[in-house]
Amino acid sequence: MANISVFLCKCFGEIDNTVDFDFLRKELSKNPSIVLISTVDSLCLETDIEKTVSRIKESNSEKVLIAACSILSRGNLVVESLIKEGIERHKIGLVDIREGCAWIHGDDPAGVTKKAKDLINIGIAALQHKELSDDMSVTVHPNALIIGAGPAGLAAAISLAKTRFKVNILERSKAPGGMLRLISRCYPGNEDASNKLEPYIREVENNPLITFYPQSKIASIEGDTGNFTVHFSSQEKDSSIKSGVIIIATGAKIFFPTGLYGYGEIKNVITQMEFERQILNGSLETKKPVFIQCVGARDKKRPYCSTICCPISLKNASRIAEDVPGASVFILHRGIMTPGNTLEKYYRDTLASGVQFIRFEEEHPPRIIGSDHVESVEVYDAITGITRKIETDLVVLSTPLVPNNDNAQLAKMMDIEVDRYGFFSEIYPMHPLETKTDGIFICGSARWPVSSDNSILQGKAAAMKAVSYLRQSKITASTLSRVPGLKAGHARVVTESCTGCGNCVAACPFNACHLEKMEGRYISVVNMMKCKACGSCVSVCPNGSVQIPEHNYRMVGEMIKMAF
């Protein structure tokens, strides 16, 4: 057993007024492994920390136990300053006898001292049996890979190039631009999409740090944070890139509402995207358009709101109302979604431009009248209760964005998750744009349908998150923590006793465990870059072969023994 020095903090009477320190000292001195028991007025004062450190160094103790306040108040400060003085982290134990003991059991003098004694004994047991996890580090490839060259991907690429990192962009189609190439104007500023896109494309073409791979298809992705290898084909040529981080900006897909409102059968029933195309090639001729919202969205199959269809309708409706003399424009909606200050103003401007809004209910969708050519739309006005018939020459269906078909496949390659609809999912709630695998980020409509402005914003944000990885020459596994501070450790497998049952592989929420064949049998291997020390594997292992050294089996057993 290692020699331990124990420091009891009085906290200027906060603790020693209720806890009997004389009794504590008497009890603790019975333990042969305790070589020093010292009472301090307040450990968090700088002078006392100096005194503490010199006392630790004078005594022949290997480990230090501090009985003071909780790690969430000033306990952490004490531990950190001891680490600064050269004492290793795993050799310091902190027991909370203020918040967890003195302050809550003040009316029970016998119980509070007994509890303090037990807590210190638990702390000593933990300190005696605590071990240190292994660690590893990976050399970072100082370049980024961006999948998708839409607004999000382009913005991310340019932000990364500005910070002097090499960027490779893989794009499915021939040219960069994504969905911005299919539309004429962007809301809420009503600027031309081509104008918005032009500086980005010029930068991608001219910046020597950015390499663009058109018509590319990803075959496989391997490796871990800081060291991904992507095998892909671009223009029928196979190649592979090593990359430190991956940013997914694959965007989303347009939903075609086949069978809804006679789409595909009746002429002049089109989607918003076809409307945009007609504007772009100048073939649009309409005086009395009717826009129908929430087509294939906010229903049983797709209960989500696609967030972009209402502003798109506002944009196109107000454009017709303002540009075409004598136009009568209707928007049939189920509640207009315009969050934020700019979009709400956009809605009010559209109202002022003379566009008429009629609210319908999900149970009474509008009816298209006309067999091969639309003549009118019949709608039950949910507010007045009157069924109205609107003469029209064009029906525009606002359809949601839906996830790309190959999202699940791509997610499997990168070991990340998709949500129940098929969009890439981030870590909810405190890690926006980050995925289950560190070093892989999502942005734009691959994550959730967003406007081009928000795509650009998210692309830049993802780039900045990526820089925090790229700027390190080496990434140490223990720093890849989702929680404040370092990781608690890494799971360790005892290869001699591991039976290769695979329970840990099934239980690991980060896919950090896998089975490997070794000397004719399977054993579990932990990937430390992925392990987050949650301990799921520890509690399903049938024979205790996998342990977290910082919280091992023997230590928990001893702690429980000492609990009362």
Partner 1 sequence: MNQPRILIFACKWCGFIGADAAGKKRTSLPSQFRIIPVECASLVETDAILRALAGGIDGIAVLGCHIGGCRYNNANHTAIKRLELLQDLLDTTGIGRSRLLLSFGTAHEDYQFEEIIKNFFDELILLPPLDPWLSPFGVIS
> Contact positions toward partner 1, by CB under 8 A?
70, 72-73, 96, 98-101, 103-108, 111-112, 114-115, 118-119, 122, 427-429, 436, 482-483, 488, 507, 509-510, 532-536, 538-540, 548, 551, 553-554, 556-561, 563-564
Q: Which is nearer to partner 1, 107 or 323 (CB)?
A: 107
Q: What is the spatial order of strands in the sheet that 210-213 belongs to?
A: 210-213, 166-170, 143-147, 245-248, 440-442
User: Residue 424 and residue 446: Cα distance in Å, rounded?
Assistant: 6
Listed in sequence order, the residues at least 6 apart from 475 whose beta carbon sits closer than 8 Å to its beta carbon are: 137, 138, 140, 225, 226, 469, 529
Give the shortest CB-97-to-partner 1 separation in angstroms: 10
Q: Which is nearer to partner 1, 107 or 372 (CB)?
A: 107
User: Residue 546 and residue 535: Cα distance in Å, rounded?
Assistant: 9
Pair 228, 222: CB distance under 8 Å: yes
Q: Cβ-count burial of 220 within 10 angstroms (0-12 exposed, 13-18 middle, 19+ buried)?
A: exposed
Q: Which is nearer to partner 1, 408 or 518 (CB)?
A: 408
User: Residue 61 and residue 301: Cα distance in Å, rounded?
Assistant: 66
Q: Which is nearer to partner 1, 186 or 531 (CB)?
A: 531
Give the shortest CB-98-to-partner 1 separation in angstroms: 7
Cα atoms in the 13 Å half-sphere on the side-chain side of 97: 35
Minimal CA–CA distance to 234: which of 215, 211, 221? 215
Q: Which is nearer to partner 1, 215 or 499 (CB)?
A: 499
| Pairing, β 63-68 against β 191-192 | unpaired
Minimal CA–CA distance to 550: which of 187, 134, 94, 102? 134
Give the shortest CB-484-to-partner 1 separation in angstroms: 10
User: Residue 531 and residue 511: Cα distance in Å, rounded?
Assistant: 8
Q: Which is nearer to partner 1, 75 or 148 (CB)?
A: 75
Give the shortest CB-117-to-partner 1 separation in angstroms: 11
Q: Which is nearer to partner 1, 104 or 386 (CB)?
A: 104
Give the shortest CB-393-to-partner 1 separation in angstroms: 48
Give the shortest CB-472-to-partner 1 separation in angstroms: 23
Listed in sequence order, the residues at least 6 apart from 148 whose beta carbon sits closer than 8 Å to its beta carbon are: 169, 170, 171, 172, 178, 248, 249, 250, 251, 444, 446
Q: Which is nearer to partner 1, 71 or 280 (CB)?
A: 71
Give the shortest CB-129-to-partner 1 separation in angstroms: 10
Give the shortest CB-505-to-partner 1 separation in angstroms: 13
Minimal CA–CA distance to 454: which of 441, 466, 444? 444
